[in-house]
Structure 1
Amino acid sequence: MVKRVDFVFDPDWPHIGSTVMRGEQLSGLARAGLGRDWRVRYRPLGARIRGSRVFLTKNAARRLDADDANALVRAGNRLFVDIVDSSPPGWTADVTCILVAASHTSFTTVSRTHPHREVVLIDHHVDPRLPAPPAHYPRFRVGYFGEVFNAALTPEVERKVEVVPVSTAQRDDSWLSRLVEFPLHFAVRRRIAQDDVKPFLKGFTAAAMGANILALRTDREAVAWLGDDYPFLVDGDDEATVLDAIAAAEGSWGSSRWDAGLHAMRGIRERVSPERIVRQLERALSA
């Protein structure tokens, strides 16, 4: 019997990051990797769906209310609610559904705060549009890829870190070609509440590019992936500490310390390979 899964997105937000990556791209990985026993579709909110596993992307889940969600359940669907870096929508307390975490910290937190709901973990995948990593990086450079307001940047730090803006609100591929220029990625954030459950996507990107990364030692998700002995964890987000960390990383360029960091990053790259993500997805959907 063919098993069905419908990835559902909010058509008002087709280009936002969570829609593109956890909807369009993840459904593409599923279609390529789940095999002939599965029928995978990527559909807008409001489409008629019956007898399927419905994977609601973050914005789609936010648009629903309890009546909408119950209607999907009555149509013979099982609901999987992707929360990414947010809390589950309020209606999930009253409607039978499975909550999907995209990070280890989110999985732990939501399992504790929603003990009467099944919670599954599907790690965030690496953007399949990434270029192949270079055979080697010719010189030391530090790059920050992301929304500028999220990073712990000052004018002095920006003299050492090149900022490559990445919008999560609209589709923009221009930053991808710049990835091959930077052997060290910058992930020191201005901390906000939702950072505690964010997937370590910056780390996954760096790992895919054969690069090291600077991340805060207080970033629980980063440390869960890197290990607390990773050589490029930063002890604070103040300017002096960040500049010292960059200088120390530059001083280790090409050394055994640098190679130890790359060894950890290779492990991360293997753990979020497309094959591993698809296996996680299949286990979650088959539970």
Structure 2
Amino acid sequence: MVKKTRVVFLHRKGLSGAGSKIMRCDQLSALCSYYLGDEFEFTVVTLRPMRSTEAFRQVCSNLQDCIVIMLKGTWALFGDNRMLELRRYARAVCVDYVDSNVRTNFARHAQVHVAASKAGAAMLEELVVYQGAGECAGRVMHLTHHADPRLSDVRCTFADVVQVGYLGHPANAFLTDRLRQEVHVLSYENDREIGDVFEGLRGFNMHYAVRALPRRKEVLGVFKPFTKGFTAAVLGANVLTTRHTTDAVHYLGEDYPFLLDRTDEDSVLTALDRARYLYGTSAWDEATERMRHVRQESSPERIAQEMREILSDFT
């Protein structure tokens, strides 16, 4: 029997309950095990602070000959020098930035820089050129951010009118008092409890994905994956979002009818009226067909293939 290559999703203890850890470690590990389990053994490991050289050596020993994929922020527990030393033990050291600031969190000694968005990948390519030059420079790979696998059997039901729902933390959405009358917010306590409201998504044929306006000037380097778009696509719903939402135009196209140019109450209300007007027409159906393409682009099979491409240079 051929020995499987070990792949370790490594995250720091403080991220244990975070949605990014649940999806990009626990769920991604399970997804990859299902599709790539004949060749690789996937596990999730929690990294605690290494307060001594002995503790660091033990971590290195435990990761001997593994392909390590560190979740955002985890590499900072090592620092530059220890990242270089870890590379002498591990088969490969990768960093998955997900939605963190790739500028301020760039791990110059990672062998693979994993981006969850196309825009993030482009920024990482620039950083590799300007900060990662030399023999330690890594390569950039895109790994699509999947929709929650618990939604795989959930579909929005037929409705006579447009029903708009928002899944996420209300503070992250642009929601005025007037818009709260138009958009139903599915409430949950924390990221671990989000599955409790998934059944409620059946009632919405349009997902609201308009982010709240930043309280301060946005720092260039943060690229949120298009997860809300992928979620809507899995359920067979359309999505209402903005043109500047990361990757939205890439996946939906410039002419997708429910892309906002501005984030203000009047613009959103006008877009909702437009959705109601187009509902049941060929334009709505064309938008739905575009979402089917998004579903294919973010399918588990596609993501597993992207993961295989990341791992292939180290097997």
SS in 1 for 2:15: coil
The alignment's TM-score, normalised by the length of structure 1, stands at 0.92
**CA distance in 2: counterparts of 1:121 and 1:255, whole angstroms:** 35
SS in 2 for 1:114: helix
Equivalent residue letter for 2:74? A
SS in 2 for 1:175: helix
The Cα offsets for residues 62-107 of structure 1, whole Å up to 9 and x where unpaired, read as: 43323442342121331110001223465722x2421100000000
Offset, 1:255: 1.1
Alignment match, 2:287: 261
**CA distance in 1: counterparts of 2:106 and 2:206, whole angstroms:** 42
SS in 2 for 1:40: strand
Residue among 206, 222, 234 paired with 1:208: 234
Contact 2:157–2:204 under 8 Å retained in 1: no
Residues 220-235 of structure 1 correspond to what in structure 2 (within 5 A)? Answer: 220-235=246-261
SS in 1 for 2:97: strand
Give yes or no for the alignment of 1:118 onto 2:139.
yes
Give yes or no for the alignment of 1:165 onto 2:179.
no
**CA distance in 2: counterparts of 1:134 and 1:199, whole angstroms:** 22
Residues 21-36 of structure 1 correspond to what in structure 2 (within 5 A)? Answer: 21-36=23-38
Alignment match, 1:141: 163
**CA distance in 2: counterparts of 1:246 and 1:91, whole angstroms:** 39
Summarize the Cα distance change of 1:71–1:208 in structure 2 as closer, same or farther, 3 Å threshold: same
Offset, 1:198: 1.0
Q: How many residues align?
A: 286
**CA distance in 2: counterparts of 1:241 and 1:81, whole angstroms:** 38
Summarize the Cα distance change of 1:112–1:167 in structure 2 as closer, same or farther, 3 Å threshold: farther
Offset, 1:171: 4.4
SS in 1 for 2:175: coil
Give yes or no for the alignment of 1:101 onto 2:123.
no
Equivalent residue letter for 1:158? R
**CA distance in 1: counterparts of 2:96 and 2:231, whole angstroms:** 21
Equivalent residue letter for 1:203? G
Alignment match, 1:92: 107
- RMSD over aligned Cα atoms: 2.1
Residue among 186, 199, 210 paired with 2:208: 186
The alignment's TM-score, normalised by the length of structure 2, stands at 0.84
Mind listing any 5+ residue stretches in structure 1 that lack a counterpart?
Answer: none
Equivalent residue letter for 2:89? A
Summarize the Cα distance change of 1:168–1:61 in structure 2 as closer, same or farther, 3 Å threshold: farther
Residue among 30, 39, 45 paired with 2:47: 45
Tell which structure's C-alpha radius of gyration is larger: 2
Summarize the Cα distance change of 1:147–1:10 in structure 2 as closer, same or farther, 3 Å threshold: same
Contact 1:66–1:91 under 8 Å retained in 2: no
Contact 2:12–2:46 under 8 Å retained in 1: yes
Offset, 1:138: 4.9
Give yes or no for the alignment of 1:75 onto 2:89.
yes
Equivalent residue letter for 1:123? T
Offset, 1:42: 1.5
SS in 2 for 1:215: strand
Offset, 1:13: 2.4
Contact 1:61–1:82 under 8 Å retained in 2: no
